[in-house]
């Protein structure tokens, strides 16, 4: 079971919004709210003062609208061909960076909306300032902006970019990206085109680069109570984040495994003494990486760390609960197991898993599969 503390989401947004000051605050809820549940996260973020939401897919925005979520929703990439009608009907604000997408959106908005009664379809124009993922080249921005404002069915609501190195505060690349964005915006203003909301800062940018905050910050991982990088702690910037997610299971079986026996697929782990072993009914199909047991992964049972042993399987994993000789057994079936979260004075964090697996906390929370039920609650029980 995954438990999500929506009060923690609200708390995190409030604290990050205070750092951003009077700027617009965009809560990024793509990938089902980084695995936390997009609708509940969006609602909690709005309670905390988020003025915008952002998603990656048109379908993610439609899900929010169908759940009754109001307010501007930014689509962080261009909508794929054929989805323009959904963008217009659901009042989604798409990011654009190609002439073809601008033309398709204009045609859809013209066909669907009444220009005398309906507001034009707002779009944000993205500049590739050095991330080189998506975005128009700086030399193309003026022509694209002009093509947008020339359409009665479209309006230019913003100009944006994405920072590639914001989680490394001392790297000068971020400053270079911001300079290119600023030059692009100045070119528009010189041509008499209003750029609208100018935005660049992700969580790391909002925390570590005050000059990147501009007119709006787009915070993703930080609203979930996770630092943007293992070396970039939000607390260093006087922002106290509270992790919102707990991943909890329960012991399903307890047995004794004799000294010399090996366990799980491949029989990679051999017991040096008779040991109590607990089986936990979660595995890599639930989001526990198969390799975690081989790089020191552990769980919390009864307030103690218990090391994973043998390979994590699709539906189950095993933990060593200590040598035989204790009476009664140190764990029992039905006992709670914390995979991510706190128990007693111990804690296991998404960044702990990430550091062991040479990845990032984002991948850990996004990787918890949808067969694990989500329970949203205000505060921790």
The residue-averaged pLDDT of 268-288 equals 96
The residue-averaged pLDDT of 218-225 equals 97
pLDDT for the residue 116: 61
CATH 3.20.20.10 residue window(s) in the chain: 2-225
Residue 204 has pLDDT above 80, yes or no: yes
Collect all residues with Cβ–Cβ distance below 8 Å to 82 and sequence separation of at least 6: none
Apex 77 CA angle, 23 and 162, nearest 5: 50
- For residues 49-73, one letter each, b for 16 or more C-beta atoms within 10 angstroms of the residue's C-beta and e for the rest, the string is ebebbbbebbebbbbbeeeebeebb
* Confidence class for position 251, pLDDT limits 50, 70, 90: very high
Alpha carbons within 13 A on the beta-carbon side of 218 = 23
Read off the pTM: 0.94
Q: Are strands 52-55 and 24-28 parallel, antiparallel or unpaired?
A: parallel
What distance in Å separates the CA atoms of residue 269 and residue 292, rounded to the nearest whole number? 13
Collect all residues with Cβ–Cβ distance below 8 Å to 377 and sequence separation of at least 6: 3, 4, 5, 6
The distance in angstroms from the start CA to the end CA of the chain is: 14
| Architecture of domain 245-377 in this structure | Beta Barrel (2.40)
In this predicted model, what pLDDT tens digit does every residue of 93-102 receive, in sequence order?
999 999 999 9
The residue-averaged pLDDT of 286-308 equals 96
Residue 329 has pLDDT above 90, yes or no: no
HEC sequence for the chain: CEEEEHHHHHHHHHHHHHHHCCCEEEEECHHHHHCCCHHHHHHHHHHCCCCEEEECCHHHHHHHHHCCCCCCEEECCCCCCCCHHHHHHCCEEEEECCHHHHHHHHHHHHHHCCCCCCCCEEEEEEECCCCCCCCECHHHHHHHHHHHHCCCCEEEEEEECCCCCCCCCCCCHHHHHHHHHHHHHHHHHHCCCCCCEEEEECHHHHHHCHHHCCCEEEECHHHHCCCCECCECHHHHCCCCCCCEEEEEECCEEEEECCCCEECHHHCEECCCCEEEEEECCCCCCCCCHHHHHHCCEEEECCEEEEEECCCCCCCEEEEEEEECECCCCCCCCCEEEEEEEECCEEECHHHHHHHHCCCHHHHHHCCCCCCCEEEECCCC
Question: Which of 112-116, 275-279, 363-367 has the lowest average pLDDT?
Answer: 112-116
Residue 345 has pLDDT above 80, yes or no: yes
Longest dimension (CA), the chain: 82
CATH 2.40.37.10 residue window(s) in the chain: 245-377
Residue 328 has pLDDT above 80, yes or no: no
Are 205 and 166 in contact by the 8 Å Cβ rule? The answer is yes
pLDDT for the residue 206: 96
Residue 113 has pLDDT above 90, yes or no: no
pLDDT for the residue 326: 63
pLDDT for the residue 254: 96
In this predicted model, what pLDDT tens digit does every residue of 355-374 receive, in sequence order?
999 999 999 999 999 999 99
**Token pair recorded at residue 132:** 């080189």
What distance in Å separates the CA atoms of residue 43 and residue 201, rounded to the nearest whole number? 22
- How far CA 73 is from CA of 9, 88, 122, 148, 280, in Å, comes to 18, 12, 11, 19, 39
In this predicted model, what pLDDT tens digit does every residue of 39-97 receive, in sequence order?
999 999 999 999 999 999 999 999 999 999 999 999 999 999 999 999 999 999 999 99
What are the residue numbers of the active site? 30, 265
Q: Class for domain 2-225, per CATH? A: alpha beta
pLDDT for the residue 115: 60
């Amino acid at each position: 079971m995954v438990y999500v503390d929506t009060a923690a989401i609200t708390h995190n947004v409030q604290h990050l919004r205070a750092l951003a000051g009077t700027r617009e605050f965009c809560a990024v809820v793509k990938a089902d709210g980084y695995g936390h549940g997009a609708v509940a996260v969006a609602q909690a973020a709005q309670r905390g003062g988020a003025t915008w939401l952002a998603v990656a897919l048109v379908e993610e925005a439609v899900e929010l609208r169908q759940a009754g979520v109001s307010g501007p929703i930014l689509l962080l990439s261009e909508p794929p061909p054929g989805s323009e009608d959904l963008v217009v009907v659901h009042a989604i604000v798409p990011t654009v960076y190609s002439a073809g997408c601008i033309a398709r959106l204009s045609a859809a908005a013209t066909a669907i909306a009444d220009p005398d009664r309906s507001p034009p379809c707002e779009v944000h124009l993205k500049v590739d300032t050095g991330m080189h993922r998506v975005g128009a080249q700086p030399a193309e921005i003026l022509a694209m902006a002009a093509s947008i404002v020339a359409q009665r069915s479209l309006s230019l609501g913003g100009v944006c970019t994405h920072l590639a190195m914001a989680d490394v505060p001392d790297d000068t690349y971020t400053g270079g990206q911001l300079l290119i964005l600023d030059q692009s915006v100045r070119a528009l203003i010189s041509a008499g085109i209003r750029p609208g909301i100018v935005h660049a800062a992700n969580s790391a940018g909002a925390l570590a680069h005050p000059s990147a905050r501009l007119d709006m910050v787009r915070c993703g991982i930080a609203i979930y109570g996770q630092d943007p990088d293992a070396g970039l702690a939000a607390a260093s910037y006087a922002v106290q984040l509270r992790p919102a997610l707990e991943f909890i299971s329960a012991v399903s079986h307890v047995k004794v495994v004799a000294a010399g026996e090996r366990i799980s697929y491949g029989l990679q782990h051999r017991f040096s003494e008779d040991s109590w072993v607990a089986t936990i009914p979660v595995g890599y199909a639930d989001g526990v990486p198969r390799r975690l047991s081989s790089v020191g992964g552990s769980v919390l049972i009864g307030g103690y760390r218990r090391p994973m042993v043998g390979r994590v399987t699709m539906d189950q994993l095993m933990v060593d609960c200590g040598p035989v000789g204790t009476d009664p057994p140190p764990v029992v079936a039905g006992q709670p197991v914390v995979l991510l979260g706190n128990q007693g004075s111990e804690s296991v964090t998404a960044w702990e898993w990430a550091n062991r697996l040479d990845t990032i906390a984002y991948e850990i929370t996004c990787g918890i599969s949808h067969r694990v039920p989500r329970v949203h609650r205000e505060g921790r029980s």
